[in-house]
Amino acid sequence: MAAIDLRPPRLTVGPLAWVRKNLFSTWYNTALTLGVSWLLYSSLKSAALWSQTEARWGVIEANLTLFMIGQYPREELWRIWLVIYLLAALVGLAWGTWRNAARGFAVMALGAGAAFALICFALNWEAWINWLIADAILLIFFLIGNFLPYASRVTVVGWLLYFPAIFLLVAGSRHIAALPPVEMSAWSGLLLTLLLTIVGNLGSLPLGILLALGRQSKLPIVRYFSIGYIELIRGVPLVTVLYMADILLPLFLPVDVRPDRVIRAMVGFILFEAAYQAENVRGGLQSIHRGQYEAAHALGLSGALTTALIVLPQALRAVVPALFNSFISLFKDTSLVAIIGLFDLLRIARSVIAQPEWLGTHREVYLFAFLIYWGFNLAFTYGNRRVEQALGVGKR
């Protein structure tokens, strides 16, 4: 009887299989991979040597708190940690409730918390314990989410309440003794950048939806007003809108009402971003087949119910990539608020460079700012991909 040749199976799954399939599948792929690797090595060799021998990374360690929260009162730093703890709790609750749909976010959050804890511990910063507490809270709420009655509803309500809670915790209130007000002029650094991004996107989306629906309205005054607003805002740069919000907004308010510059910047971002969100949503509305409207009307649904229950959910689902792209774009555009006197992350970086003891450290500081922007945008991109997979965008 002839012997059977039992060869080991080829690698079909895992990192090595991915490398073999995407980088070394053919001779020209192998040559291209090796060529690009050599170019990267040649271009990054000097940068790596500089980072290990000449770079003064002490500027980052000495000013890390300034980068993160700027001029925010240090005695109120516990509020920022409370915001992080609440976020960890909601991520864990979502993981326990929605399992695979939120697992990627949860694992990424756990990894980020562990990495920050290790970095802080290596640099002898007391903040390492705070990051471990955040990871522990996430895991505890993951277990709670597995057994909590009506967990899905509780999670949705929690996320809806979380964003107003951020503003309350950061700004404080005169009516809550434990949360004394913090002047908005003290909001700066990465804290201000994230707040402007969140408020700008969450505030502009409802307005953008209304403008997109108004542009398709059969009422001439509504349609032409929506078209005029969208084309006017999209026809000017964001810098112009920010200047207008900073200078002209107080003129439309009573004499005794003078909003802080942070509020003016938020209003400017909302007004500007709403025009682009309107065009994103309009593209989604146009992708809905006419049969959807006819089927809804055949069931006896009114025009408003047809839009709210049938058309708009499908339209928003279709434009999820465009909505996330606008979110990422606005996160980067927040650096423009420096022109109206606000200290965002990038302006804080410039102020650090101006410190006498850290003159000449512009490369280190700007590289650190680049890594922060790149890291957050990478997380937003990953979140976009996970949401698309959960909603089946482009697949069903």
pLDDT tens-digit map of 21-71: 888 888 888 899 999 999 888 888 888 888 888 888 889 988 988 999 999
Q: Is the pTM of this model over 0.85?
A: yes
Q: Which CATH number fits domain 188-396: 1.10.3720.10, 3.30.2090.10, 3.40.50.410, 3.10.129.10?
A: 1.10.3720.10
Do 212 and 227 touch, CB atoms closer than 8 A?
Answer: no
The pLDDT of residue 203: 93
The pLDDT of residue 228: 96
Instruction: Please give, one letter per residue, the 3-state secondary structure of the chain.
Output: CCCCCCCCCCCCCCHHHHHHHHCCCCHHHHHHHHHHHHHHHHHHHHHHHHHHHCCCCHHHHHCHHHHHHCCCCHHHHHHHHHHHHHHHHHHHHHHHHHCHHHHHHHHHHHHHHHHHHHHHHHCCCCCHHHHHHHHHHHHHHHHHHHHCCCHHHHHHHHHHHHHHHHHHHHHCCCCCCCCCCCCHHHCCHHHHHHHHHHHHHHHHHHHHHHHHHHHCCCCHHHHHHHHHHHHHHHCCCHHHHHHHHHHHHHHHCCCCCCCCHHHHHHHHHHHHHHHHHHHHHHHHHHCCCHHHHHHHHHCCCCHHHHHHHHHHHHHHHHCHHHHHHHHHHHHHHHHHHHHHCCCEHHHHHHHHHCCHHHCCCHHHHHHHHHHHHHHHHHHHHHHHHHHHHHHCCCCC
The whole-angstrom separation of Cα 160 and Cα 337 is 27
Residues of the chain where predicted confidence (pLDDT) is lower than 70:
1-14, 394-396
Q: What are the structural domain ranges in the chain? A: 73-182, 188-396
The pLDDT of residue 301: 87
